[in-house]
């Protein structure tokens, strides 16, 4: 395997780093509060970064999301690319791709997803009923990719549903989605898979879920990298008894552990993304990346706050945003023990079918 970015991926990552660095500043984040930054989202779309994901793949998206995570930029970049561009590109019908992809690419269509923690039933005429209690970036979205109880995926216009604001640990413009015989269209079309359609729907759901886990693990890698960078800068300038805090062995060891945890999140996300782009099985690798992002991400953002001492307890300090984002991603990706159990079950199932390398 080779995680070396292509020329196109490198160019997109560098452009994203410049835009996030210029526009997602501490002052701007303070000004937008818990809302998304519309000006930043417009700049990203005008630069063609959401559109570029179709060409640079999931690994390219992970690289871009790392840059977002470093600055905790408040835009629906991950959600719209995962549940919109990549999901529709891979599984949408020709008509759905033609209708939705241009809007997702230019930012006029914003997608998010409600794949888990929801109880949604599909009626015989394609209407949905049920509740998704927490949907990230729902307040920014024009469409939601919803999974029903049978793991079929549906596209729902937010204008047709009831969307109520929900405040999370991190400012993700989240909401509660309530569906009451709400009209929806099935991703890929109702009869797109003929007689195999039940198995195909499960495969479609599993692919979108694994893609989301990988992408959000990449976002967590960036959040953690930003937390570690702030901790290093702070401990190198903050002095105690005439010496920088960074000169103390305990501080060095804590920062080193946080760095290694961050690298583990990054490399497992890269591997899962690379395997998807290469057309290889990657479900277990996505679970591994999600587990590292949840377990190690929790440790890293706590270490980042701890290494800031009293400043880490300041709710207005930039490192506190990394703490909030890291804890939100920890919760969103799933409890570490649950992910580990799912990973173990998938390995056992794979070995039972002669796929022990899954």
Could you report the per-residue pLDDT of 201-259, keeping only the tens digit for each? 889 999 999 999 999 999 999 999 999 999 999 898 887 777 887 788 898 999 999 99
| Contacts (Cβ under 8 Å, ≥6 apart) of 306 | 254, 312
Q: Distance between CA atoms of 196 and 96, rounded to whole angstroms?
A: 21
Reply yes or no on whether the pLDDT at 326 is more than 50.
yes
Could you report the per-residue pLDDT of 99-149, keeping only the tens digit for each? 999 999 999 999 999 997 668 999 888 899 999 999 999 999 999 999 999
Q: Which residue has the tokens 């599984």?
A: 91
Report residue 351's pLDDT band, with 50, 70 and 90 as the boundaries. very low
What is the model's pTM? 0.93
Reply yes or no on whether the pLDDT at 355 is more than 60.
no
State residue 2's pLDDT score.
76
Q: Within a 10 A sphere around the Cβ of 169, how many other Cβ atoms? A: 16
State residue 357's pLDDT score.
46
- Where b means 16+ CB within 10 Å and e means fewer, 126-161 reads ebbebebebbbbbbbbbbbbbbbeebbbbbbebeeb
């Amino acid at each position: 395997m080779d995680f070396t970015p292509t020329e196109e991926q490198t160019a997109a990552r560098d452009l994203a780093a410049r835009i996030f660095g210029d526009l997602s500043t501490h002052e701007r984040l303070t000004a937008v509060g818990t809302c998304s930054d519309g000006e930043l989202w417009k700049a990203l779309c005008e630069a063609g970064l959401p559109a570029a994901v179709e060409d640079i793949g999931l690994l390219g998206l992970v690289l871009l999301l790392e840059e977002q995570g470093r600055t905790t930029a408040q835009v629906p970049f991950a959600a719209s690319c995962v549940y919109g561009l990549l999901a529709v590109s891979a599984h949408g019908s020709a008509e759905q791709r033609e209708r939705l992809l241009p809007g997702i690419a230019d930012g006029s269509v914003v997608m998010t997803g409600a794949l888990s923690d929801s109880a949604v039933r599909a009626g015989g005429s394609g209407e949905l009923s049920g509740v998704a209690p927490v949907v990230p970036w729902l307040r920014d979205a024009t469409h939601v990719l919803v999974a029903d109880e049978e793991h079929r995926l549906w596209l729902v216009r937010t204008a047709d549903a009831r969307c109520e604001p929900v405040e999370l640990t991190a400012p993700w413009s989240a909401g509660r989605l309530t569906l009451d015989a709400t009209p929806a269209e099935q991703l890929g079309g109702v009869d797109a898979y003929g007689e195999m359609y039940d198995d195909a729907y499960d495969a479609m759901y599993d692919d979108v879920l694994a893609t989301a886990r990988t992408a959000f693990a990449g976002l967590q890698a960036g959040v953690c990298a930003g937390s570690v960078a702030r901790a290093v800068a702070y401990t190198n300038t903050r002095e105690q008894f005439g010496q920088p805090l960074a000169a103390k062995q305990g501080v060095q060891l804590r920062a080193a552990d946080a760095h290694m945890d961050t690298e583990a999140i990054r490399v497992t996300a890269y591997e899962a993304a690379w395997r998807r782009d290469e057309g290889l099985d990657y479900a277990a690798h996505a679970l591994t990346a999600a587990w590292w992002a949840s377990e190690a991400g929790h440790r890293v953002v706590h270490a980042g706050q701890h290494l800031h001492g009293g400043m880490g307890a300041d709710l207005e300090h930039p490192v506190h945003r990394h703490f909030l984002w890291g804890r939100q991603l920890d919760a969103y990706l799933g409890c570490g023990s649950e992910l580990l159990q799912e990973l173990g079950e998938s390995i056992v199932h794979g070995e039972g079918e002669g796929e022990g390398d899954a």
